[in-house]
Amino acid sequence: MIETGDEVEVRKGDRVYRGIVMPRHIFSDKNMLVIKLPSGYNMALDRRKCEIKILKKGGTRKKQVKPVEFDDSKPIVALLGTGGTIASYVDYKSGAVHPAATAEELTFAVPEIFQICNVEADVLSQKLSENITPADWQRMARRAKKYLNDGKPVIIAHGTDTMAYSAAALSFMFRKLPSSIIFVGSQRSSDRPSSDAFVNLMAAVRVALADMAEVAVVMHESISSSRVAIHRGTKVRKMHSSRRDAFVSINAPPIGYVKGEKVVLEGEHKRRSGGKAVLKAGLEKEVALVYYYPGMGRDEFEAMVNGKKGVVIAGTGLGHVGEHLIPEIRKLTRSGIPVVMTTQCLWGSVNLNVYSTGRKLLRAGVISGYDMLPEVAWIKLMWVMANESNVEEAMITNIAGEISERREIGDFVK
């Protein structure tokens, strides 16, 4: 049986090629044999048209792992891996990208990190971030608590797709933090020389070690690699599918930035303190997030909220839905199901006093989500319903920096 990594000789017509068998690309034709030639190029041959001879079985190659020495003079940072490609390295033979599972493997990816701290690497999961669930947030939080209570700030390496969701969730769950939980990711995987992973990760370490105790996302500020922004976990959103500077603080300025070795904390932030972390990880998972669109029918709306114990609506403009849905909403609130209104505009606040539809929604019992991002309000409602007695009161109270009272002219990216 021919396996990936085997050295083979392939005879096609009167030609003979030698190379190493490579894994097949998912879109590759099923009859293709892909071999890496001595030149480094991959070559695909139709198996049916050639004769293949194994010269040497590939077997598994042993990794060369250099032990990392613990340095007493440096602080310790916990690095939790959840998946994603921030701390990974490439197998040039197969092209596969492997995550760094231990501190030793991290040295392959980001050796510089050990110049400023000791790293306790801990792989929590191997998930693409689109597969992460609220249950994973709870696991992340519990593991983070363990390290925080040991006096180690936590960095969570996370896939970027849902990183902002996880950051928001942990922001609500931790009612007290002795030091920071820093989420970090990369928009270009770390197997590429141009990866933003190294700059982001190094910045994350510096922020984790700074005098701050917040849940934050640390990612490129612009497409240049000179500055990295520190975003509050409840205000940050991925606003671009591919750019390095995809993460943006919305309706609030970022907490600060990192430039080279310097961490600048300009915005409001809690300082580090002694003491233990207070974690309330409970979540009410039956909460719907409904994105309103023109012409959404009553039955559609009903189907989306059916069986839910709480509802967050991403409404239009200042926080509206078609008036025909108001009776449905009233039905929900009357039966004790909280309904929170946010805006699809993302930028700016909900205000239900301005137009008649807004006023009617208020009368129907809708709770204003102010300038909370729809998904942040959704996570908050899940958390509030599991941890607070007065849901409405809690939803309109700023718990973790999720509601800003004022928005300055500069707080808008066009």
Of the residues 91, 120, 284, 411, which one makes contact with other proteins according to CB under 8 A = 91
Q: Residue 117 corresponds to which tokens in the numbers above?
A: 């701290």
DSSP 354-390: SSHHHHHHHHTTPEE-TT--HHHHHHHHHHHHHH-S-
Q: How many CB atoms lie within 10 A of CB 65?
A: 11
- Burial string for 48-58 (b: 16+ CB within 10 Å, else e) reads eeeebeeeeeb
Told to judge if 85 belongs to the known catalytic residues of this protein, a careful annotator would answer yes
Map tokens 């440096």 to a residue. Answer: 74
Told to judge if 411 belongs to the known catalytic residues of this protein, a careful annotator would answer no
39 or 390: whose CB is closer to other proteins?
A: 39
Residue 129 per-residue DSSP state: G
The residue among 247, 79, 234 whose CA lies nearest residue 156 is 79
Of the residues 64, 73, 353, 356, which one makes contact with other proteins according to CB under 8 A = 64
Min dist CB 301 to other proteins, Å, is 36
Please report, to the nearest 10 degrees, the dihedral formed by the alpha carbons of residues 360, 362, 364, 369 taken in order.
130
122 or 191: whose CB is closer to other proteins?
A: 191
Is residue 167 within 8 A of residue 141, CB to CB? The reply is no
Of the residues 1, 61, 261, 335, which one makes contact with other proteins according to CB under 8 A = 61
63 or 359: whose CB is closer to other proteins?
A: 63
Using CB under 8 A as the criterion, what x/- string covers residues 187-216 for binding other proteins? -x-xxxxxx--xx-----------------
User: Cα-flanking dihedrals φ and ψ of residue 83, to 5°?
Assistant: 125, -160
Using CB under 8 A as the criterion, what x/- string covers residues 145-184 for binding other proteins? ----------------------------------------
Told to judge if 4 belongs to the known catalytic residues of this protein, a careful annotator would answer no
Min dist CB 224 to other proteins, Å, is 4
Taking CB under 8 A as the rule, does residue 21 contact other proteins?
no
Q: Where in 239-278 is the site for other proteins (CB under 8 A)? A: 242-244
User: Cα-flanking dihedrals φ and ψ of residue 116, to 5°?
Assistant: -115, -15
- CA 234, distance to chain mean position in Å, is 12
Distance CA 89, CA 92 (A): 9
Taking CB under 8 A as the rule, does residue 356 contact other proteins?
no
Annotated catalytic residue within 85, 107, 342, 343? 85
Taking CB under 8 A as the rule, does residue 27 contact other proteins?
yes
Taking CB under 8 A as the rule, does residue 32 contact other proteins?
yes
Is residue 155 within 8 A of residue 208, CB to CB? The reply is yes
Is residue 196 within 8 A of residue 207, CB to CB? The reply is no
Of the residues 3, 29, 71, 150, which one makes contact with other proteins according to CB under 8 A = 29
Told to judge if 342 belongs to the known catalytic residues of this protein, a careful annotator would answer no
Q: Indicate the residue type of 318.
A: L
Number of residues in the chain: 414
Min dist CB 98 to other proteins, Å, is 7
Taking CB under 8 A as the rule, does residue 85 contact other proteins?
no
Taking CB under 8 A as the rule, does residue 224 contact other proteins?
yes
Catalytically active residues, by annotation: 85, 160-161, 238
Give the binding site for other proteins (CB under 8 A): 15, 22, 25, 27-29, 32, 34, 36-46, 49, 61, 63-64, 66, 89-93, 95, 98, 108-109, 188, 190-195, 198-199, 222-226, 242-244
